[in-house]
Amino acid sequence: EIVLTQSPGTVSLSPGERATLSCRASQTIDRNYLAWYQQKLGQAPRLLIYGASSRATAIPDRFSGSGSGTDFTLTISRLEPEDFALYYCQQYGDSPITFGQGTRLEIK
Amino acid sequence: QVQLQESGPGLVKPSQTLSLTCTVSGDSIVSGSYFWSWIRQSAGKGLEWIGRIHSSGSTHYNPSVKSRVAISRDTSKNEFSLRLDSLTPADTAVYYCARGLPSERFDPWGQGTLVTVSS
């Protein structure tokens, strides 16, 4: 199965700053089938990005995804207070579907 | 607006069988080309995809649980269900149901239900 490794484990930033989260796959992800999710405490994950770079419905344009092959990045251009949460990547190019272990984005 | 809601017991004994149901509103589980999935989240293993049933009725499971899992559906109630046998404490997790869009990104998710395996 494809193992996804997210880095850093935790990142501390201030509102207004730029966040860059990384997701590295153990092998090439077919058709760049890579998604990003946001999860807040006590809530289910919410789809942010799919196909590595396409924003899901109603997701603000400060969220963007990039990358291909084995290296992918989620960028939040200007952090809002509501953006501090857990972020997960997920690959759906190969079975079984797998998730990264998550990056915690906390307020500095 | 599509909504999913999990239901089932919160506490199950080791070696017993877990049965959970996901009730879907705002969409039909037999239309489109969607994958109706179960995913769990535990402190030890993070997010783990368990398996799914396609709108056609075909199923597919994670090899990690394949020998003891079954996903079925009741089209008259617009529900799909998870059965997981031979439970151990390692199966303790929050269980989510989710709609897998074509190519299996998940949107939306249910709110999740905590299942604890303990005697």
Residue written as tokens 């990384």? A22
- The beta strands (E) that lie in chain B are given as 3-7, 11-12, 18-25, 35-42, 46-54, 59-61, 69-74, 79-84, 93-100, 106-109, 113-117
What pairing do the DSSP bridges indicate for beta strands A86-91 and A34-39? antiparallel
Query: Phi, psi at residue B44, to the nearest 5°?
Result: -80, -35
- The mean of the pLDDT values for chain A is 97
Give the span between the Cα atoms of B108 and B100, in whole angstroms.
Answer: 8
Q: A residues 32-61 near B, CB within 8 Å?
A: 33, 35, 37, 43-47, 50-51, 56-57
Q: Sort out which chain B residues have CB atoms less than 8 A from A102's CB and list them.
A: 46-47
Compare CB distances from B96 to A44, A90, A102 and report the shortest one's residue. Answer: A44
For residue range B5-29, what is the model confidence (pLDDT) as tens digits? 999 999 999 999 999 999 999 999 9
Q: pLDDT at position A77, please? A: 96
Question: Considering only A50-59, B23-32, B41-50, B100-109, which range has the smallest mean pLDDT?
Answer: B100-109
Q: Does A16 score more than 80 pLDDT?
A: yes
Q: pLDDT at position A5, please? A: 98
Cα–Cα separations (whole angstroms), residue B44 to A13, A45, B90: 27, 17, 8
Q: pLDDT at position B102, please? A: 75
Q: Sort out which chain A residues have CB atoms less than 8 A from B48's CB and list them.
A: 99
Give the span between the Cα atoms of B95 and A81, in whole angstroms.
Answer: 28
Cα–Cα separations (whole angstroms), residue A19 to A49, A54, A107, B86: 15, 18, 11, 43
Q: B residues 34-63 near A, CB within 8 Å?
A: 46-49, 60, 62-63
Residues contacting B118, CB < 8 A, separation 6+: B11, B13, B14, B89, B92
For residue range B38-95, what is the model confidence (pLDDT) as tens digits? 999 998 889 999 999 999 999 999 999 999 999 999 999 999 999 999 999 999 999 9
Size of interface A-B (CB pairs under 8 A): 60
Tell me the average pLDDT across B100-109: 88
Q: Does A93 score more than 80 pLDDT?
A: yes
Compare CB distances from A97 to B46, B101, B104 and report the shortest one's residue. Answer: B104
Q: Does B103 score more than 80 pLDDT?
A: no
Beta bridge partners of A53: none
Query: Phi, psi at residue B38, to the nearest 5°?
Result: -115, 135
pLDDT band at B32 (very low <50, low <70, confident <90, very high): confident
Q: Sort out which chain B residues have CB atoms less than 8 A from A46's CB and list them.
A: 107-109
